[in-house]
Structure 1
Amino acid sequence: MSNFFKDLKVIELAGVLAGPGVGLFFAELGARVLKVENKNVGGDATRTWRLKGETENGPSAYFSAVNYKKEYLFLDLTDARERHDLLQEIADADMVISNYSSRVAEKLGMDYPTLSKINKKLIYLQLDGFANSARPAYDVVLQAETGWISMTGHSENPSKLPVALIDVLAGHQLKEGALLAIIHRMKTGEGSLVECNLEQASLAALANQATNYLMNNAVAEPIGTLHPNIAPYGDWFATADGKRIVLAVGSDKQFENLNMVLGLHLHIDEKFKTNPDRLRYRFDLRAALVPAIAKFNLADLSQKLDGAGVPFGEIKKLDAVLESPAAQEMVRTEMQGGRETKRLTGNAFKAGFL
């Protein structure tokens, strides 16, 4: 673990995933992160979000995903003495991370206007649910209301993403704001308020699906793994040994090379010569590729596709993914509450100065 932020003190008033993920970022880089939890309700709600059959000993796996290398303070902030103790910690802190509603923050005296009076250099990170509403906001609510569920799975069976991706995206946005605030303080000596909400973090991540609508008035439909602009891209196929792959053919040259590997000549067929052609006749294209790919075992096909520079991926289950060398390199362990907790590091980047 790097000590890049070893002189940074962070107070985490946030629960669940997005805010604690920001705290994890700084903790993994050496900051002192004090996570404040409501002792009247047993702490962060995710401490008890256990899988069926998961041990009751120690924190849940869910909680452990974004809580690592932190100090834990179980407080009742309605108690004047305990609130005073926390304010003493905040007085010399560099940063506060909060997902308290404005009503709760003001009632407890943990809002930015109040805290900035006792610490003028404080960077206050505020995470909200919606841009213009105080409604409760959980990840699946935002996946529904910002279009993700409408685009995922198939029309007869709407699906959500199996990770709380909106929380993760919002956490990344808030981290970026935090880093800008640190630079701003280095330049001016001033603290600042940085605000982010799940709704707009989710909207910002719609990327090409948003521009497909904004520029072409095209509303994305649920098409499983398929790509709306490219083919064969996201199309999946079974191999002779029962494995499954997805293709990610993004150019005419890659499509020609795919044909070379498979012993086909679809690239000279008028129906499939260009990407717009392949999109138009996508299902005919799939019908031609299915039997050709089914002749190969995965190992042999992988070698040939790699050799020809054709992008593809094996559809792997999570156990195989997490046993890979890349994943194993990212595993971090820590004893918490008598249980060995494990998670993947939240920081996938490397830098020579770390």
Structure 2
Amino acid sequence: MLEGLKVVELATVLAGPHVGMFFAELGAEVLKVEHPEHPDVTRSWKLPTERPDSSVSAYFSSVNYHKTYIRLNLSKEEDRYEALNLIKEADIVLMNFKKGDQEKFNLTDKTLLQFNPGLLIGKISGFGEESDRVAYDLILQAETGYMSMNGTPESGPVKMPVAFIDVLAAHHLKEGLLVALLNRQRTGKGGVVHVSLYDAAISSLVNQASNYLMNKHIPQRIGSLHPNIAPYGELFKTKDDKEVTFAIGSQIHFEKLVTVLEAKELLKDKRFINNQVRVDHRFELAELIQQKVILWQAETLNNELRKVFVPCAIIKNLREVFREEGAQKLIREEKIEGRLTKRVTGIAFTYGSY
């Protein structure tokens, strides 16, 4: 879809390269520029089981795909000149420089747009362009409320097991650049799209933010439970020692759930007659549901609830996830510097014209 588009990626780690991979998967030519002696640090972020002599890690592979790798030291005039020549012919340049580096390398927005008036500059910062704080996903999860909400009362604050804020920022930058491409098509003008990890994180608080802003409700660590819905996120053991969970988003869902579980008496219990009171009595409700769930095999229960369109899931690990055909279709393979690499696609939408 984007064949003929040229992207120069001066970004490292996860968010910026994630954006570069997005454009590469859509057919753009993506040139990833790395320092000759100090390449993208994620090349070294290896599991203990990975080959220590390999120049590629699984982490690096996750957001680098269908790119051309170029080594340039932007501190050297001749390398910087080569980079500028690449940018002169580019449609998009991606960067996540720390404060002051654009000026140090003479790659300011003004300089680049004078050099290439149609250029779109996509930038990611941690806490905004005027901040010099070093920003990693963990720090953003800590400072924007996510860790305070995530976990259980016993666990204390917990970081999510993916670089969630980086991924959110990447999506915001993709959206901004696509809007900028549309605007350039109309006007012929380039411009600058900037996303900070901080803004992306706050922007993504959605219902939790509104719960606080409207009701002064400060979310507590409640594991997988939903503060507004019950049962939703409780974990139940089955007869075959698996764990299942339900997302009971409506009264109809609840009625169908207890019908399948042969627990229709719960519909007459004043503690459970509607969602609001169920939230208040969710722990008593969970104990009663557990007494019914333990009588079922997980697959059987899941299938029965699917028949009546009640949201149910068996908790799966990644081995189980990637056994499934749907997940396998999203795997992308490529050899990078002699190593076979695998990752999941950065594109979850489909497109067709009629």
TM-score normalized by the length of structure 2: 0.97
Q: Could you tell me how far apart the structure 1 residues matched to 2:41 and 2:211 are?
A: 38
Superposition deviation, residue 58 in structure 1: 3.9
Instruction: Say which SS state the counterpart of residue 296 (structure 2) adopts.
Output: coil
2:229 corresponding residue in structure 1: 230
Give distance in 2, aligned partners of 1:230 and 1:129: 33
Code of the aligned partner of 2:77? A
Following superposition, the deviation at residue 155 of structure 1 comes to: 3.1
2:50 equivalent to 1:36:
no
Aligned to 2:291: 291
Any residues of structure 2 matched to 1:46-85 within 5 Å, and which? 46-56=42-52, 57-85=54-82
Structure 2: gaps of 5 or more residues: none
When structure 1 is superposed on structure 2, of 162-171 and 294-303 the one drifting more is 294-303
**Cα distance in 1, alignment partners of residues 274 and 258 from structure 2:** 14
Partner residue, 2:333:
333
Matched letter for residue 223 of structure 2: G
Tell me, in whole angstroms, the C-alpha distance in 2 between the residues paired with 1:61 and 1:204.
Answer: 29
> 2:99–2:131: 8 Å Cα contact kept in structure 1?
no
Partner Cα separation in structure 2 for residue 293 and residue 91 of structure 1 = 63
**1:281 matched to which residue of 2?**
281
- Give me the whole-angstrom Cα distance separating, in 1, the residues matched to 2:131 and 2:337: 37
Q: 2:123 aligns with which of 108, 122, 126?
A: 126
CA shift for structure 1 position 304: 1.4
Spell out, residue by residue over 1:259-285, the C-alpha distance to the aligned partner (whole angstroms, 9 max, x if none).
Answer: 111111201111100001101111110
AA at the equivalent of 2:225: L
Q: What CA distance in whole angstroms lies between the structure 1 residues aligned with 2:99 and 2:14? A: 19
Amino acid paired to 2:46: R
Task: Please name the residue that 2:307 is paired with.
Answer: 307
Q: In 1, Cα distance between the equivalents of 2:30 and 2:304?
A: 49
Q: AA paired with 1:147?
A: G
Task: Give the Å deviation of 1:253.
Answer: 1.3
**Could you say which residue in structure 2 is the equivalent of 1:155?**
153
Taking the aligned partners of 2:286 and 2:12, their CA distance within structure 1 comes to 46
Aligned residue type for 2:40: D
Alpha carbons 2:120, 2:191 under 8 Å: kept: yes
Distance 2:132 2:350 in 1: 38
> What is the CA distance between 1:126 and its match in structure 2?
1.0
Shifted more, 129-138 versus 6-15: the winner is 129-138
Deviations, residues 182-234 of structure 1 (Å, cap 9, x unaligned): 01110110000111100010111111000000111100111000000000011
Cα 1:328–1:48 change in 2 (3 A) is same
Equivalent position SS for 2:37: helix
Deviation of 1:39 (Å): 1.1
Contact 1:58 1:338 in 2 (8 A): no
* 1:200 equivalent in alignment to 2:199: yes
Q: Which amino acid aligns with 2:140?
A: L
- Code of the aligned partner of 2:149: M
Of 41, 48, 53, the match for 1:45: 41
Distance 1:330 1:58 in 2: 25
Give how far 1:133 is off: 2.5
**Following the alignment from structure 2 to structure 1, what is the Cα–Cα distance between the partners of residues 303 and 126?**
46
How much identity, in percent, do the aligned residues show?
A: 45
Aligned-partner residue type, residue 47 of structure 1? R
The answer to whether the Cα contact below 8 Å between 2:10 and 2:96 also exists between their aligned partners in 1 is yes
Report how far residue 287 of structure 1 moved. 1.1
Q: Does 1:242 align with 2:241?
A: yes
Separation in 1 of the partners of 2:57 and 2:353?
Answer: 34
String of CA shifts for 1:39-88, please: whole Å, max 9, x gaps: 121x1000010001212324000000000000011111111111111111
> How far apart, CA to CA, are the structure 1 residues paired with 2:353 and 2:167?
26
Following superposition, the deviation at residue 111 of structure 1 comes to 2.0
Q: Specify the SS of the correspondent of 1:271.
A: helix
Alpha-carbon distance in 2 for matches of 1:29, 1:59: 23
**8 Å Cα contact 2:124/2:195 also seen in 1:** yes
CA positional deviation for 1:308: 2.2
**CA distance in structure 2 between the aligned counterparts of 1:117 and 1:269, rounded to whole angstroms:** 71
1:106-142 per-residue CA deviation (whole Å, 9 max, x = no partner) reads: 1001221111111011100111101363201000000
Aligned length: 350
Q: Which residue in 2 is equivalent to 1:18?
A: 15
CA displacement at 1:105 relative to structure 2: 1.2
Q: Distance in 2 between matches of 1:133 and 1:217?
A: 29
In the TM superposition, residue 353 of structure 1 has moved relative to its aligned partner by: 4.3
Distance 1:188 1:215 in 2: 41
Letter of the structure 2 residue corresponding to residue 176 of structure 1: E
